[in-house]
Amino acid sequence: MKDAFKKVVYAVLTFEAQLLLRRTKPIVIAVTGSVGKTSTKDGIFAVLKNHRKARKSEKSFNSEIGVPLSVLGLPNGWDNPVAWIINIIEGFFIAAFSRNYPEVLVLEAGVDRPGDMKSLTAWLKPDIAVITRLPDVPVHVEYFSTPEAVAEEKLELVRALKPNGVFIYNHDDAKLLAAVADVRQPSVGFSRYAPSHFTAAADEIVYRDDVPVGSQFTLTHMDETVTIKVNGSIGIQNAYTYSAAAAVAAQFDIPLTAVAEAVRSHVGPVGRMRVIPGIKATCILDDTYNSSPTAVEGALQTLKELRGFNRKIAVLGDMLELGQFSTREHERIGEVAAGAVDMLITIGVRSRKTAEGALEHGLSEKQIFQYEDSAAAGKELQQLIKPGDVILVKGSQGVRAERVVEEIMAEPERAGELLVRQDTAWRKR
């Protein structure tokens, strides 16, 4: 779309979304952070949906236009001006006349550049603000002066809380723990390492016939402890995702037992450490939704902890939007990979530094393969993998690492069901 037309569309849809919120007055839960936003948003919705009439942001609609679309329940018009005009017309009728609107909105709020969160919170005032994590080198830092500036931008969401709102935060994050002192509203923490309002512990991978099928952990709130079982996804991020969801559920008087039941029947979003059968009797860990240094490090740690496989292979694509930290962080991830894998495959120019870091810290040249794009990497990987291998695949959205998974999954005809970015608009890109 042309910039002028885009600005008009965004302004009109934002006005319509604001009008709708004023008229219907739903409880607004807004989720931000630099790691795990989408999974946490989906986890919260999974827990709430059987107790309240709720709606969540579709996919990762978290931008200047994504949030108004989520509020209005409208699709992305992509590059089609006619679709956007139809959205504006439908948005007017929804804002003015819709009935039976959800009681609760679970929205994802992202930032790409300075001012993004301030612009969003100029009209969106959450009842509950959830912040997942603010790592030392967050994604999108490229457009900010420092990582601290990214954190400050995301904390604008907390400052926008309604007077009777609640701040739910990752207690293991030093930046968030420090921010609590400045929050006037009630604050609720969730943690894996320290006593907090909601504390996860004893997290482990669950196997069936020596194949990982999910994970589980214990969750304690006050004097109540339950076991949370997660199907189809593994990794330490699950403990944070569903601890945050439990903290939100408590604001609606939903007990831990109901949280555990909701999670047991919930399958998380695709592309987030999902276990997928691969060709040649291999196992794929599909973590292709997006990438950041903290997320890659966590995924590699999970890969390292897996048992029962002949070889552990990591396919790592470029981590984008890291700005001045790009070279350093790609090299550091190479060092982490060297201690976790038997074979490393990199995708993209930036990931050459990942290969260099791995080479410097113990992997040999025979264990490292480098490719320029995901399609080529996937085709070559078909020849490299052997029965009994487990393959982690991860990269930023722009790398399109899901194309690697499609090349090596046992059932490629299920790509539309199991992989990210499979709608027509994305596949054309």
Dump pLDDT digits (tens) for 274-302.
999 999 999 999 999 999 999 999 999 99
Looking at the predicted structure, is the pLDDT value of residue 127 above 70?
Answer: yes
Tokens at 405, concatenated? 């998974």
pLDDT band at 8 (very low <50, low <70, confident <90, very high): very high
CA nearest 270: which of 414, 158, 80, 384?
Answer: 414
The superfamily in CATH containing domain 3-264 is: Mur-like, catalytic domain (3.40.1190.10)
8 Å CB contact between 178 and 134: no
CA nearest 21: which of 116, 122, 159?
Answer: 122
The beta-strand segments (E) located in 222-281 are 224-231, 274-278
User: If you classify domain 274-427 with CATH, what class do you get?
Assistant: alpha beta
Looking at the predicted structure, is the pLDDT value of residue 141 above 90?
Answer: no
Which of residues 95 and 423 earns the better pLDDT score? 95
8 Å CB contact between 117 and 157: yes
Residue 213 φ/ψ, nearest 5 degrees: -125, -5
Mean pLDDT, residues 218-234 taken together: 96
Give the predicted TM-score (pTM) of the model: 0.94
Per-residue pLDDT at 1? 57
Residue 156 φ/ψ, nearest 5 degrees: -60, -30
CA pseudo-torsion sign 112, 95, 185, 46: negative
Mean pLDDT, residues 368-377 taken together: 96
d(CA 144, CA 80): 31
What rounded mean pLDDT belongs to the chain? 95
8 Å CB contact between 285 and 275: yes
- CATH 3.40.1190.10 boundaries in the chain: 3-264
Per-residue pLDDT at 360? 98
- Neighbour count for residue 7 (Cβ, 10 Å): 12
